[in-house]
Chains A and B, each alone.
Chain A
Amino acid sequence: MAIRCIVVTPERTELDCEADSVTLPMFDGSLGVLPGRAPMIGRLGFGTLHLSTAAGPQQFFVDGGFAQVEGNVVSVLTARSISVDMLDVGDAEKALEEAQELPGSTPELMQIKETAVNRARGQLRSAR
């Protein structure tokens, strides 16, 4: 029995394939999904999505969003999904520097900054 993994971005359906197991980068840590998991809806963080398929492992960087598991179908909704090979360490480092330069004088601005920093860190982790 295999899991069907669907990655959807607002522009198109990025990926629709069968996998033996899926590791989701959740908001608060990784979460592995094997066939027969109970239904769930989760909030994704910024990190790497691991798929182990018959053709070998696949890795994607996902940029926040949601994951839904229902009856061996994992749907991942994210703003962006990039294959890890396409990421560039230099770009990610630059994004992190820029995020750290953002102002954080009020609680709202602080929150915006934190999100930007987290995103850049996730990207950097995936790129390495």
Chain B
Amino acid sequence: MANARALDKRRKSIRNIRKITRTMELIATARYKKAMDRAQAATAYTEQITRIVGRLAAAGLDVKHPLLEQRDEVKNARVLVLTSNRGLCGGYNSSILREATPLVRELRTSLPNVNVDVSGKRGVDGLSFRGIRPDERHLNFEDQPKYDEVEKIAESYLSRYVTGELDRLDVVYTKFISTSKQIATVETLLPLGSLSDSDAPQEDAGKNVEYEFLPSAESILEEVVPTSFKVRLFKCFLDAAVSEQVARMIAMKGATENAGDMIKQLSMTYNRARQSQITGEIMEIIGGVEALEG
């Protein structure tokens, strides 16, 4: 039987760990709620953009833009990988890396110039370990990505795309579907396939209203396309942030529960060890008394 004091020490340390994991779970829950609210606030904007695109299409405008068209010759590609800065969030980062690594390898075999940009320390470390050197590193994104910061990244991609330094951009991120389901996905953002989100509801109301386009429908389209790219990239960041918090919440919940189970088991072993120690001591005393009497 193990030493009772050693068991007690172990139990105490597990109790402390449980306290920490529980606190982390609570923090993740609070952050998740905040991130979720932000993601929902962003949908108001995307919906309006989709509506404007719908109106433009309804007005009989041919939706054409350099950003929407597939290039004949793709030479320079970039992959943006969105991971977290901190660990202890279960399989969140590893599933992203599992998605990103084969993609990069495949692109590198077919295209001459493929660069990888990473957001998040974990992704930088993970990719370096797998032999992929990240080009640009963004380490400033936490649970609430700022639009200004995302916009800067988006603008740099846009200007590179327009000047021909970039022909294709893929984003690897965790798509948030529901609290119990998040999937690591790859999305090609440049060239933009279509303007409207596939999952956004198509709206028919108001089609009979005649709109005046100022200064012209073409000019509006010229602005809508880059904006919708920026918003989509922002949405990727928001989704990744929400998914990270959910993953951390679930991982920490599991850790807290496991710590509880371990404490229960250790308590049982400790009590047995203590009991047997006491029994041993009593036996010794009885033995001593009998020896004196005899």
Contacts and interface: CB of A to CB of B under 8 A. Distances in A.
Nearest to A11: B147
A80 B148 contact: yes
Interface residues of A, number: 30
A40 B212 contact: yes
Contacts of A80: 147-148
Given A65-B227, A70-B206, A112-B159, A10 B147 contact: yes
A12 B151 contact: no
B234 interface: yes
B contact patch SS: helix
Contacts of A40: 211-214
Contacts, number: 93
B200 interface: no
Interface size class of B (residues with CB under 8 A): 35 or more
Nearest to B214: A42
Interface stretch (B41-49, B244-252, B260-268, B280-288): B41-49
A12 B223 contact: no
Contacts of B151: 79
B52 A43 contact: no
Interface of A: 8-13, 26-28, 31, 38-43, 64-66, 68, 70, 75, 77, 79-80, 106, 108-109, 111-112
Given A10-B234, A41-B55, A77-B49, 13 more contacts: A11-B38, A11-B41, A12-B41, A26-B215, A41-B52, A41-B56, A41-B211, A42-B215, A43-B220, A66-B48, A66-B224, A68-B51, A79-B227
